[in-house]
Structures are given as C-alpha cells and as structure tokens.
Amino acid sequence: NAGVTQTPKFQVLKTGQSMTLQCAQDMNHEYMSWYRQDPGMGLRLIHYSVGAGITDQGEVPNGYNVSRSTTEDFPLRLLSAAPSQTSVYFCASSYTGTRSGEQYFGPGTRLTVT
Amino acid sequence: AQSVAQPEDQVNVAEGNPLTVKCTYSVSGNPYLFWYVQYPNRGLQFLLKYITGDNLVKGSYGFEAEFNKSQTSFHLKKPSALVSDSALYFCAVRDALYGGATNKLIFGTGTLLAVQP
C-alpha cells in the first residue's frame, strides 16, 4: 500500500519557470490538499479538493493552480515561480464526512527558486 | 477566527523524564483535535486525535493527550521521554465552519522537542 506519494523529492527552479508537483493516493480518499511548510509558520493550506472536479482555495493560493480530474491525483502547478515560493510542499489526503479523521501526508517536495 | 497556538517553539527534556507539549485552540462548536509528529526530512505522521468521549486520548509511541474544554487546551504528554522522540510536533484543529464536509485542518506553528540523553 503506497499511501500518498509525491514527486519530485527535490526541485530547483529559476524565477519565472513553471512546473507541476505531482501527488497521488491509493486509499480512495475524497479529500486531498496541498500545504506549504516554512520555518516558524507551521503548515499553510494552499488548495484543497473534496472530490474529482471540485477544488477550492486555501489560505495562500496565489501563484498556484490545481485540478482534480481523478480521485487519485491532485497536481499542484506553479505558474511563474518566485523566490517567495521556496518552501517544502506536502500533499495530504483523508476521508470526509462521517469517516473523516486524520490526514495522511506524503513525504514532501523541497522546492528552491533562485 | 479559528486558530491553534503552540506557545513554545522548543521544549527540552531529559531522557526518562515526563514531557508535555502545549496546545490551545479557538474554534466555534465542538473541536476535532489532532497531534502530528514530523521527523527530519519526513512528512507528518498522525499521533492521536480527539473527537468525543474520554478527555484522555492515547495514541502512537506511548503518547497521550488531555482535552480540557474549560481551558481550551489539548496538551500532548508522555510519561517517560526517549531520545528517539526528538522531532517537530504539530497540533491541529479541524475547521469547524465546514465540519466534516472538507476536513480542512488549521495547524499550529509547531514545537521542537529535544530529548537529551
């Protein structure tokens, strides 16, 4: 059982480049989300989805796009990378509704924008 | 506004001593509370949760947490610390606005636990 997987593990981008961070889960979870982790700021929610075709913004959505075409996949796109987007990015998934509870996290993607 | 506070950036404890990592919350309605642990260069791992029931919740690796509604606290505890417990600990509360429809979590800023041998 793979759980939540993320690729790549590390990435270096130049300012203005675009890229997609991949996230997949094999637990048939309805809810998927993207967080960024910065020192002293905990985890901040970027975007989330409660099912295929449904996405919404979190706390810090600017500069990021998401889509959810399948239950399993939830990619995060950086449209034009900026140094302020240097961070560690985590994807997480869980059930919703009466089965909701703990979220399962991927191993993270460490992104550096120069 | 809903929020979670972890007042200590770092907690130092000697191996074998009891440990407490503090968390207070502010949320409307009944809180769903969680503790996660993050080891270096790893993702977050679920430790325990409080939804309803007993105020003392037991979780993984010998950790437990005490829910106190009057003090709006959910402190993480362990009777005897191990060096291997050294990690970053996050408290989180589920966004009460949407209930279980989304399972959005609000995280604290994290507390670094350092256990000295």
Three-class DSSP labels, B36-69: EEECCCCCEEEEEEECCCCCEEECHHHCEEEEEC
Report pLDDT for A98.
65
Task: Please state the rounded mean pLDDT for residues A83-106.
Answer: 88
- Per-residue pLDDT 10s for chain B (117 aa) are 788 999 999 999 999 999 999 999 998 888 889 999 999 888 899 999 998 888 999 999 999 999 999 999 999 999 999 999 999 999 999 876 665 667 788 899 999 999 999
Report pLDDT for B90.
96
At A81, the pLDDT band (50, 70, 90 cuts) reads very high
Q: Chain A residues with CB-CB distance to B under 8 A?
A: 4, 31, 33, 35, 40-45, 48, 50, 56, 58, 90, 92, 94-98, 100-108
* Residue B61 CA, distance from chain mean position: 13
CB contacts < 8 A (A, B): 60
Q: Terminal CA-to-CA distance of chain B, rounded, Å? A: 41
On whether any CB of chain A is under 8 Å from the CB of B101, the answer is: yes
Both tokens of residue B51? Answer: 């939804």
Residue A64 CB: number of other CB atoms within 10 A? 19
Residue B110 sits at φ, ψ, to 5 deg, of: 95, 150
Asked if A94's CB is within 8 angstroms of B109's CB, the reply is no
Q: Print burial letters for A27-62: b (CB count within 10 Å at least 16), e (below 16).
A: eebbbbbbbbbeeeebbbbbbbbbebeebeebebbe
pLDDT digits (tens, 9 = 90+) for B88-104: 999 999 876 665 667 78
Alpha-carbon radius of gyration of chain B:
14
Question: Beta strands of chain A (E only): which ranges?
Answer: 4-7, 10-13, 19-25, 31-37, 43-51, 54-57, 64-66, 76-78, 87-94, 104-105, 109-113
**Mean pLDDT score across all residues of chain B:** 91
Nearest by CB: B103 against A56, A96, A107: A96
